[in-house]
C-alpha cells in the first residue's frame, strides 16, 4: 500500500540509542539511525538550535531527517543533545555554555561517527548549531557543513576565515524572512568563505515550519548527489507513526515567541 509521508511518519531504519563521552567527562544522550540494509552513503551529524529556547535533538527538522532519510536517501543520521539539553531521549550531563564548552560535544559526536566507520561525515547545524559547526566543526574527518538559519551570533570572523581556507564545502540555507540573518546580509557575511553557497529560501522563516521537506531535499542534494530529489512524498512499504504528543511541548516552534538576542557583529 502506498501511503503519504506525513509529519509523524517513521520509515524503516536501524535505530539505536547512543551515548557520547566528552573529553571533559560528560555523557551526552543521542540516537543513530542507519539504513535498514546496506551501508550508508553519507552521514549527517546534527547540531541542534539554542537549548535555552527549546532547541534539542528532536527539533522537528532533525526528527524528520532521522525518521525519513535512512530509507529515502540511504543516509545515517546522528543526533544528540548538547550538554544540559533535554528531550524525550533524556538529558545530557553538564550545563549550557554559550558555545564555549560545547566544543567537546561537537568533538565527541565526530569521534563517535569515526569510530563507527560512518562514511562521508557532514555537519548539519541549525541556528545555534550553525555557530557550533563553524566554531568547532572544522575537523579532518568532516567532509563539509550545511547550515540552517545561521545567525552568526557566537562566532568570530576568524572562524569563517578558517573554513574559507579549508576549502571544505559549506552551504547556508537562509530563510527569506529569517528573524536574525536574511539572504542579502548572509551573502555579505559568508564572503569570508569563498566556496560558501548561500541559498535563499523563498517564504521560509527561522524555524522552517512548513518547509522541512524543502530543507531535506536541499540537504540530500549536497550530501548524496546520486539520490534523486525532490525526495518521494509517498512510501510504498511499512510505515510507523511517531508519537507527536511526546513533542508537543518540546519543539522549538513552541518557543517562537521568545525573543533571542540579535547576532553580534564583528
Indicate whether 258 pLDDT > 90.
no
Query: Across the chain, what does the average pLDDT equal?
Result: 93
Indicate whether 176 pLDDT > 80.
yes
Q: Is the backbone peptide bond immediately before 230 cis, with ω within 30 degrees of 0?
A: yes
Least confident of 91-100, 185-194, 201-210, 251-260: 251-260
pTM for the whole structure: 0.93
Distance CA 145, CA 196 (A): 10
pLDDT reported for residue 246: 65
Indicate whether 257 pLDDT > 60.
no
Q: How far apart are the first and last CA of the chain?
A: 55
Give me the domains of the chain, ranges plus CATH numbers. 10-255 (3.40.50.1820)
Instruction: Give the whole-number percent of the chain exceeding pLDDT 90.
Output: 90
What number is the average pLDDT over the span 250-262?
Answer: 43
Distance CA 171, CA 53 (A): 24
pLDDT reported for residue 133: 98
Burial-class residue 166 by CB neighbours within 10 Å (0-12, 13-18, 19+). Answer: middle
What number is the average pLDDT over the span 171-178?
Answer: 98
Amino acid at each position: 500500500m502506498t501511503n503519504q509521508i506525513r509529519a509523524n511518519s517513521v520509515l524503516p531504519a536501524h535505530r539505536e540509542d547512543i551515548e557520547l563521552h566528552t573529553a571533559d567527562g560528560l555523557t551526552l544522550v543521542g540516537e543513530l539511525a542507519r539504513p535498514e540494509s546496506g551501508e550508508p552513503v553519507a552521514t549527517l551529524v546534527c547540531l541542534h538550535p539554542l537549548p535555552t529556547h527549546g532547541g534539542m535533538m528532536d527539533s522537528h527538522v532533525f526528527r524528520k531527517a532521522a525518521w525519513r532519510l535512512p530509507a529515502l536517501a540511504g543516509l545515517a543520521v546522528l543526533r544528540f543533545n548538547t550538554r544540559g539539553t533535554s528531550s524525550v531521549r533524556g538529558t545530557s550531563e553538564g550545563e549550557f555554555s554559550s558555545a564555549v564548552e560545547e566544543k567537546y560535544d561537537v568533538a565527541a559526536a565526530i569521534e563517535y561517527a569515526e569510530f563507527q566507520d560512518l562514511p562521508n561525515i557532514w555537519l548539519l547545524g541549525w541556528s545555534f548549531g550553525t555557530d557550533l559547526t563553524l566554531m568547532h566543526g572544522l575537523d579532518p574527518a568532516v567532509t563539509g557543513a550545511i547550515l540552517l538559519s545561521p545567525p552568526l551570533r557566537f562566532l568570530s570572523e576568524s572562524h569563517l576565515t578558517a573554513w574559507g581556507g579549508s576549502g571544505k564545502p559549506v552551504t547556508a540555507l537562509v530563510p527569506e524572512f529569517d528573524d536574525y540573518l536574511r539572504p542579502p546580509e548572509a551573502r555579505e557575511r559568508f564572503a569570508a568563505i569563498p566556496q560558501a553557497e548561500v541559498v535563499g529560501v523563498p517564504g521560509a522563516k527561522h524555524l522552517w515550519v512548513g518547509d522541512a521537506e524543502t530543507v531535506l531535499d536541499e540537504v540530500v542534494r549536497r550530501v548524496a548527489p546520486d539520490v534523486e530529489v525532490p525526495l518521494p512524498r509517498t512510501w510504498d512499504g511499512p510505515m510507523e507513526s511517531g508519537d507527536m504528543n511526546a513533542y508537543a511541548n518540546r519543539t522549538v516552534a513552541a518557543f517562537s515567541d521568545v525573543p533571542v538576542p540579535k547576532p553580534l557583529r564583528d
